[in-house]
Amino acid sequence: MNEIHWADKIAEEISWRDKNVIATGITPSGDIHIGNMREVLTGDMIYRALVDRGKDAELIYIADTFDPLRRVYPFLPGSYEEHVGKPLSSVPDPYGCHENYAEHFLDPFLDSMEKLGISAKIYRSNELYEKGLYEDAIRAAIKNRRKIADILKEGSGRELKNNWSPYNPLCENCGRINSSEVLGFDDFKVRYRCKCGFEGKSDIRKGEGKLGWRIDWPARWKILNVTVEPFGKDHATVGGSYDTGKVISKEIYGYEPPYPVIYEWISLKGRDMSSSKGVVIPIGEMLESVPPEVLRYLIARSRPNKHLNFDPGLPLLNLIGDLESINGEDESGGRELEFSLSVEKRSNVPFRHLINTIQIAKGDLKELRIVLKRSGYDMGENEERWAGYARNWLERYAPESMKFELKEELPKNALSLKEKDKMGLKILGERLKSDLSGEDIHNMIYKVAEEAGLKTKNLFEAIYISLLDKKSGPRAGLFIESVGIGFVKKRFGEVSRDEG
């Protein structure tokens, strides 16, 4: 019996509840990348597993748009120094195409979620505060600030100042949310003095300030009725934000903390992904190069606590091959496939074959239709979309070894082939027929090499040099079939007629 899928196992452990709310989220401080996508896809698969069991469930996504801009990131102009400390929802879009900084990075991510088939209710933290949904939580935090300070000190070892406040006022003058000292509390107003010299009052009912992260997180669990939450391993350390958060949740808010699903990082070619350091592939860019189901499969096939090293080159191509080869009748593989399905219909053409045929066709879709037909595939509307993925993957991520150009004229290097190699091409060309399959042709190459007294390697090299002017290329039989028997017979004839 196959092992139960990790998402089903989690669903089984939490299905005793009448309803489960799975929360995911991120701070949109830069390009939201493949590493960030692990959280929301993990949440989505748990959501799907619950629904499959007939359970009431909801998936939510919280964008921390009320978090401050921490520093001037490398992709920002130096002038953004004046915005450091302001909420992301109040910082202007550096590219001038969205309402604010947060929306610039959030908007393409939400579009990517739709492409991935993720249906989540979206919350923006600045709006939650502005609508007054945090009012009770803020009151409770202010009332119990000394107790919270003790919890944080005991849990994390942090020494807090005597005037420490769980609430950070938004300065009315400079617009920063991390630069004020709290002077006192008057019912729904918090008196403060900002580093800019301004003194004022912050209304906790109107989004004029926010709770510090370690208090904000458990507060939102209760506000949004969160019962399950995936989060990165950095929050799960001893004394980390989940450790202190679950105590605050119970003792301050009287709320049972959500079921934790701790996930490992996805690194990019062995390096930790970081928007601020530029070590990222934005999720939107990746979804222009591979179908959504591939990224879903990347997450579905591995337990959340397994570290993933993402390489968009050959390893990603191999991952696509693994997905295409899944046997739907196999219980484990079938479940991974179910979790991988997005809103987009799968292609009937193997992706690796599309990679090769789009190059044979030189990117022309009409020609691609002909090339695919020669190799036994019909190009439908969906294949056209997948051809776009193949083209983008080639341009952005393909290793040079996979790139080639079918030469319209006989390459000069083909004229320098040894006579034995030319003879092998002559025999092969004479035996090629239009009714042969790619596999038939591939097997024939071995037989011809043996008959001609050639090393098989040398004959393969001669084939590629004659057609591509390089010593290697796609699997030869299917490649010859795709290029066209007539073209190949003519080319091999041109090579063998040369006197050397």
Domain ranges, ordered by start, for the chain: 351-402, 412-497
Cβ-based burial of 254 (10 A; exposed 0-12, middle 13-18, buried ≥19): exposed
Distance CA 486, CA 500 (A): 23
Give yes or no for residue 333 having a pLDDT over 70: no
Give yes or no for residue 326 having a pLDDT over 70: yes
Instruction: Report pTM.
Output: 0.91
Lowest mean pLDDT among 293-297, 340-344, 371-375, 390-394: 340-344
117: alpha, beta or left? (left if phi > 0; alpha if psi -120 to 50):
left
pLDDT, position 279? 65
Residues 86, 88, 89, CA angle at the centre, nearest 5°?
Answer: 105
C-beta of residue 221 within 8 angstroms of C-beta of residue 252:
no
pLDDT, position 329? 44
More confident residue, 205 or 327: 205
Sheet of 308-310, strand order: 271-272, 266-268, 308-310
Give yes or no for residue 499 having a pLDDT over 70: no
Give the sign of the dihedral formed by CA 20, CA 232, CA 26, CA 207.
Answer: positive
Lowest mean pLDDT among 13-22, 265-274, 295-304: 265-274
Q: Please compute the mean of the pLDDT values over residues 88-105 and round it to a whole number.
A: 96
pLDDT, position 276? 64
Give yes or no for residue 324 having a pLDDT over 90: no
412-497 to CATH, choices 2.40.50.660, 1.10.150.130, 1.10.1060.10, 1.10.10.350: 1.10.10.350
Give yes or no for residue 498 having a pLDDT over 80: no
Pull the structure tokens for residue 5: 């899928």
pLDDT, position 268? 85
C-beta of residue 326 within 8 angstroms of C-beta of residue 294:
no
Q: Which residues sit opposite 61 in a β-bridge?
A: 24, 122
pLDDT in tens, 108-129: 999 999 999 999 999 999 999 9
Give yes or no for residue 347 having a pLDDT over 90: no
pLDDT in tens, 412-468: 999 999 999 999 999 999 999 999 999 999 999 999 999 999 999 999 999 999 999
pLDDT in tens, 142-200: 999 999 999 999 988 888 888 899 999 999 999 999 999 999 998 899 999 999 999 99
pLDDT, position 94? 94
